[in-house]
Amino acid sequence: GDKVKQSPSALSLQEGTNSALRCNFSIAATTVQWFLQNPRGSLINLFYLVPGTKENGRLKSAFDSKESYSTLHIRDAQLEDSGTYFCAANTGYQNFYFGKGTSLTVIP
Amino acid sequence: EAAVTQSPRNKVAVTGGKVTLSCNQTNNHNNMYWYRQDTGHGLRLIHYSYGAGSTEKGDIPDGYKASRPSQENFSLILELATPSQTSVYFCASGVDRGAGNTLYFGEGSRLIVV
C-alpha cells in the first residue's frame, strides 16, 4: 500500500478562508518536506521539517514523527495558493516517499 | 536556494530514438535524482547518484540509464525511447541535513515520444 497518504485529494477554498492538509506515514519518517506544484508545473519548496513546527507567512506546518503525520495549514487563502501540494517523507536514506498530492483551487 | 537547471525543457522524440535529458546544479550538492511524474502515479524515482561517477537504480530504472560525470551534472539517457516514456521528468539535487535529506527540484522536462 501507499507509504504516504495525503488528504484530501482535492479541495476548493473561498479566498480568505483557512484550511489544513494532512499526510499520514506508514514508514519511520525522520524528516518531511512540503512542496507546491504551481500551475506552470514547477515544484516549489515550502518547508523542510524535523519533528516540530515551522511557520512562513500564511503557511504553517507541523511534523509529529511519533504519531507519523504532518500537516500544512493555509491561513487567509489567496488565488496564488492554487496548485497541487505534495508532502515527501525521508527516512534518513536516499529514498523519498511522496504522497499523491492535494489539488487546491482558491475561488475568488 | 539550490539552482537546478534542466535541458531541454520540451522534447518530441521518435520511437526507437535516443534521448538525453541533462541536469546541472550549482549548489555543490552531493546527491542528485531523476524522477518522472505521471497522472495517477505521482513522482517516481528512476535513478539517483551520491556523487561524481556514481549512479544507483531507483524504483523504476528499466529503459533508462544515468550518468554523473561531475558534481554538477547528471544526465538521464533513454537509449531506445518508447511511447510509455512520455512523461514529465524532474531532476533534483539533495543534501543531507543531519536528520534527513532534502530535495531541490528543477523546472521539469516534458518529453513526448511518438
Model confidence over B92-114: pLDDT tens digits? 999 887 777 789 999 999 999 99
**Does the beta carbon of B88 lie under 8 angstroms from any beta carbon of chain A?**
yes
pLDDT value at B72 more than 60: yes
Q: What's the gap in Å between the CA of A97 and the closest CA on chain B?
A: 9
pLDDT for the residue numbered A12: 97
Shortest CA distance from B49: residue in chain A = A94
pLDDT value at B1 more than 60: no
- Chain A residues within 8 A of B100 when measuring between CB atoms: 29-31, 50, 90-92
pLDDT for the residue numbered B100: 75
pLDDT digits (tens, 9 = 90+) for B19-67: 999 999 998 999 999 999 998 788 999 999 999 999 999 999 999 999 9
- Chain B residues within 8 A of A93 when measuring between CB atoms: 101
Q: Which of A31, A96, A101 sits opposite B99 (nearest CB)?
A: A31
Domains of chain B: which residue ranges? 4-113
pLDDT for the residue numbered A92: 78
pLDDT for the residue numbered A49: 95
> Cα dihedral sign for B42, B73, B100, A85?
negative
Q: Average per-residue pLDDT in chain A?
A: 94
In chain A, what are the domains? 4-107 (2.60.40.10)
Choice among A6-10, A72-76, A88-92 with the minimum mean pLDDT: A88-92
Cβ within 8 Å of residue B89, ≥6 positions away: B6, B21, B34, B35, B36, B37, B46, B76, B108, B109, B110, B111
CA distances to A8, A38, A90, B42, B76 from A85, rounded to whole Å, are 10, 9, 17, 11, 26
pLDDT for the residue numbered B109: 97
- Chain A residues within 8 A of B94 when measuring between CB atoms: 94
pLDDT for the residue numbered B27: 85
Architecture of the CATH domain B4-113: Sandwich (2.60)
Cα B91 to Cα B5: distance, rounded to the nearest angstrom = 8
Q: Answer yes or no: do B103 and A42 touch at CB < 8 A.
A: no
pLDDT value at B12 more than 90: yes
Q: What's the gap in Å between the CA of B80 and the closest CA on chain A?
A: 26
Shortest CA distance from B91: residue in chain A = A43
pLDDT value at A108 more than 90: yes
Cα B81 to Cα B64: distance, rounded to the nearest angstrom = 9
pLDDT value at B5 more than 90: yes
